[in-house]
C-alpha cells in the first residue's frame, strides 16, 4: 500500500514510521523544515496527570496510554536512529498556592501521586517559595528533548525505508470519483492509496477537499522563555502551578506557555515575557535575577472542541491526525499506533476523536 503523510512533525514522522514498519510504502511531505513547528516550539512534556488529569475520559485514557508507551518508544527511536532524545522520567510536582488548592490536590492523591506538605515539597525543590501550600508528586511523568526528537524520528523513519521530502508543501489534494487520489505540491504529484493529514496548525490549509473533509484546525500560539540560572541549581522535576510550567533542559529553565488565538502570527511580545516571568517568580521567587536566554513562539493545532482528530475524514482515502492542541508530544506514540491500525487495518476510530464529528456539523450547516 502506498501512503503519503502530510507533515513532518512528531505526529507525521511517528505515524509514517509505524506505517513503514508494517510494510507500507510511505512518503512524508513537509511544507517547511523538518519538525520545526509545534514539535520544536514545545517543551517536550510527557505529563498526562499534570496536563489532562485522570484517565476517566477518552482524552485521559489516550494521554495515560500514550505516556505508558513513551519509555519503550524513546528507546526504540534512539536505537533506530543512534540519536539521544533525552527522555527523562524524573517526575512532576504540581504546586498548590492556597489551602483550597492544597485540599484539591490532596483529593487527587493516589499510589502514583503522593501529596506532600509544603515543607516536604521545599525539601525536594528548595527554590520553591514560601507561599507554596502543598504539592502533588508524580514520579511517572517524563520529558523528552523535543528539538532532538524530530531529527531522530526522521532518521529512524528513513532508515526503515521511508521517504522524506522537506520544503515541499502539499497545496492540493486531487479527488477522483469521491476519493483522494493524489497530493499535489509545486514540484510533483504524489499518487497514493491513502493520505494522512498530520500538518499540525496548518492542517486545514489545503485545497481540493470538500468542505466536510476540511479539518477545522485553528492555530493556538504559545510563547516560552528559557532562563539561565544564577547562583542556584535549577529544579530537578517539572513544576506546575500558578498557570505555568517550568522544566530544566540542558541546564536552562524553560517556562511556558501562553495560549492565544492570533492566526499564524508567531511574533513574541514583551507582555508575554513579563507575564511568564511574573507567574514563574510567584512559585520560584529566586528566578527574578536569572537571564532570559531565549524567547520563542510556536503554533499548536487547536480544534473546535479542543479534542484531537484521529481517524478517517469525510473524504475516502484521506485520514487525519491533528488537533493535538497542547499534547502533541505526549500523544505521539499512541496516535502512531492508532493511525497504523486505522489506515492499514480499517480499525474503528474512538468516536470522541473521529474527525467526521465535524463533517456532520458542516453538512447540517
Ligand atoms: N504542552 C504544553 C503547552 O502546550 O504549552
Q: In which region does residue 25 sit, left (phi positive, over 0), alpha (psi from -120 to 50) or beta (all else)?
A: beta
Give the distance (Å) from ligand 1 centre to CA of residue 43: 7
- What's the residue count for the chain? 365
Calculate Rg over the CA atoms of the chain.
21
Distance CA 181, CA 121 (A): 57
* Distance (Å, whole) CA 99 – CA 82: 48
Residues 204 and 325 reside in one and the same domain: yes
* Phi then psi dihedrals of residue 317, to 5 deg: 90, -10
Q: Are 342 and 349 in contact (CB under 8 A)?
A: yes
**CB-defined site of ligand 1, < 6 Å:** 42-43, 45, 222, 256-257, 300, 326
- From 37, 40, 49, 51, mutation site for ligand 1 pocket: most ligand atoms within 8 A of C-beta: 51
pLDDT value for 365:
56
Which residue has its alpha carbon closest to ligand 1 atom 4?
A: 326
Spacing, Cα 326 to ligand 1 middle (Å):
4
Same domain, 295 and 153: no
Instruction: Look up residue 282 and give its three cell numbers.
Output: 510567584
- Reduced to 3 states, what is the DSSP secondary structure of residue 357? helix
Q: How far is the CA of 235 from the centre of ligand 1 (A)?
A: 19
Cell of 212: 466536510
How far is ligand 1, taken at its centre, from the CA of residue 146, in Å?
A: 12
Q: What is the pLDDT of residue 363?
A: 54
Helix, strand or coil, per DSSP, at residue 337:
helix
Give, using CA atoms, the residue closest to atom 2 of ligand 1: 326
pTM: 0.96
Asked if residue 212 and residue 162 are part of one domain, the reply reads yes
Q: Are residues 232 and 337 in the same domain?
A: no
Q: Are 225 and 298 part of one and the same domain?
A: yes
* Top mutation candidate among 327, 328, 330, 331 for ligand 1, by most atoms within 8 Å of CB: 327
State the distance from the centre of ligand 1 to the C-alpha of 71, rounded, in angstroms.
20
Find the 244 Cα to ligand 1 centroid distance in Å: 10
Number of structural domains found in the chain: 2
Distance CA 340, CA 333 (A): 11
Rounded distance from Cα 210 to ligand 1 centre (Å): 31
Which residue has a Cα nearest atom 5 of ligand 1? 257
Retrieve residue 171's grid coordinates.
497545496
Residue at which a domain ends, from 303, 331, 348:
303
Q: Do 324 and 291 belong to one domain?
A: no
- How many Å from the N-terminal Cα to the C-terminal Cα in the chain? 35
The SS3 assignment for 277 reads helix
Burial of 131 (0-12, 13-18, 19+ CB in 10 A): middle
Which residue has a Cα nearest atom 3 of ligand 1?
326
Rounded to the nearest 10°, the torsion over CA 143, 146, 151, 156 is: 30
> Are the beta carbons of 144 and 102 closer than 8 angstroms?
no
Three-class SS state of 73 = helix
User: How far is the C-alpha of 140 from the C-alpha of 114, rounded, in Å?
Assistant: 11
Q: How do residues 90-126 score in pLDDT, each as one tens digit? A: 999 999 999 999 999 999 999 989 999 999 999 999 9
Question: How would you write 97-111 as a 3-class SS string?
Answer: CCHHHHHHHHHHCCC
Q: Which residues, given as ranges, of the chain have pLDDT below 50?
A: none
Determine the structural domain holding residue 157 and report its residue range: 2-84+145-216+305-364
**Contact between residue 250 and residue 198 where contact means Cβ atoms under 8 Å apart:** no
Residue 48: strand, helix, or coil: helix
Maximal CA-CA distance, the chain:
67
Of 303, 335, 356, the last residue of a domain is: 303
- Which of ligand 1's atoms lies nearest the C-alpha of 328? 1
For ligand 1, atom 1, name the residue with the nearest CA: 326
Distance 38 CA to ligand 1 centre (A): 9
Residues 210-221: b if buried by 16+ CB within 10 A, e if exposed: eebbbbbbbbbb
Are residues 136 and 151 located together in one domain of the fold?
no
Helices and strands of the chain, counted as H and E runs: 10, 19
My answer on whether 12 and 133 are in the same domain is no
Give the 3-state secondary structure of residue 319: strand
Q: Return the SS3 of 5.
A: strand
Q: Residue 54's pLDDT is what? A: 84
**How many other C-beta atoms are found inside a 10 Å radius of the C-beta of residue 358?**
23
Whether 80 and 97 map to the same domain: the answer is: no
Q: Does 278 lie in the same domain as 150?
A: no
> What pLDDT is attached to residue 112?
87
Q: What is the best residue among 245, 297, 330 to mutate for testing ligand 1's pocket, by most ligand atoms within 8 Å of CB?
A: 245
Distance in Å, CA 236 to ligand 1 centroid: 19
Q: The C-alpha cell of 93 is what? A: 510536582
Distance 266 CA to ligand 1 centre (A): 15
**Are 71 and 170 contained in the same domain?**
yes
**Ligand 1 atom at shortest distance from the alpha carbon of 224:** 5
74 and 169 fall within a common domain: yes
Q: How far is CA 222 from CA 37, 193, 213, 284, in A?
A: 11, 35, 27, 21
CATH value at residue 298: 3.30.9.10
Amino acid at each position: 500500500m502506498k501512503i503519503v503523510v502530510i507533515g513532518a512533525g512528531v505526529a507525521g514522522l511517528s505515524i509514517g514510521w509505524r506505517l513503514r514498519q508494517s510494510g507500507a510504502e510511505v512518503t512524508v511531505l513537509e511544507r517547511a523544515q523538518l519538525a520545526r513547528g509545534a514539535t520544536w516550539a514545545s517543551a517536550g512534556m510527557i505529563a498526562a496527570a499534570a496536563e489532562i488529569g485522570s484517565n476517566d475520559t477518552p482524552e485521559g485514557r489516550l494521554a495515560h496510554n500514550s505516556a505508558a508507551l513513551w519509555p519503550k518508544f524513546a528507546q526504540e527511536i534512539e536505537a533506530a536512529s543512534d540519536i539521544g532524545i533525552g527522555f527523562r522520567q524524573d517526575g512532576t510536582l504540581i504546586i498548590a498556592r492556597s489551602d483550597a488548592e492544597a485540599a484539591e490536590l490532596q483529593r487527587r492523591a493516589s499510589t502514583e501521586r503522593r501529596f506532600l506538605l509544603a515543607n516536604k515539597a521545599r525539601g525536594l525543590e528548595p527554590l520553591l517559595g514560601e507561599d507554596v501550600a502543598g504539592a502533588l508528586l508524580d514520579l511517572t511523568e517524563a520529558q523528552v528533548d523535543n528539538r532532538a526528537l524530530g531529527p531522530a524520528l526522521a532518521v529512524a523513519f528513513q532508515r526503515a525505508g521511508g521517504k522524506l521530502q522537506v520544503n515541499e508543501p502539499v497545496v492540493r489534494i486531487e479527488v477522483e470519483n469521491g476519493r483522494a487520489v493524489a497530493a499535489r505540491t509545486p514540484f510533483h504529484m504524489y499518487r497514493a492509496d491513502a493520505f494522512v493529514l498530520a500538518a499540525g496548525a496548518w492542517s486545514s490549509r489545503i485545497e481540493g477537499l470538500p468542505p466536510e473533509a476540511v479539518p477545522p484546525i485553528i492555530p493556538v500560539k504559545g510563547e516560552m522563555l528559557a532562563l539561565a540560572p544564577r547562583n542556584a541549581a535549577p529544579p530537578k522535576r517539572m513544576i506546575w502551578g500558578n498557570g505555568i510550567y517550568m522544566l530544566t533542559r540542558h541546564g536552562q529553565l524553560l517556562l511556558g506557555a501562553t495560549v492565544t488565538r492570533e492566526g499564524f502570527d508567531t511574533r513574541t511580545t514583551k507582555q508575554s515575557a513579563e507575564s511568564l516571568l511574573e507567574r514563574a517568580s510567584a512559585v520560584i521567587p529566586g528566578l527574578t535575577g536569572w537571564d532570559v536566554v531565549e524567547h520563542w513562539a510556536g503554533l499548536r493545532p487547536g480544534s473546535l472542541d479542543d479534542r484531537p482528530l484521529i481517524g478517517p475524514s469525510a473524504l475516502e482515502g484521506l485520514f487525519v491526525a491533528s488537533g493535538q492542541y497542547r499534547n502533541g508530544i505526549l500523544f505521539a506514540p499512541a496516535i502512531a499506533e492508532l493511525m497504523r491500525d486505522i489506515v492499514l487495518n480499517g480499525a474503528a476510530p474512538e468516536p470522541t476523536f473521529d474527525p467526521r464529528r465535524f463533517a456532520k456539523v458542516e453538512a447540517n450547516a
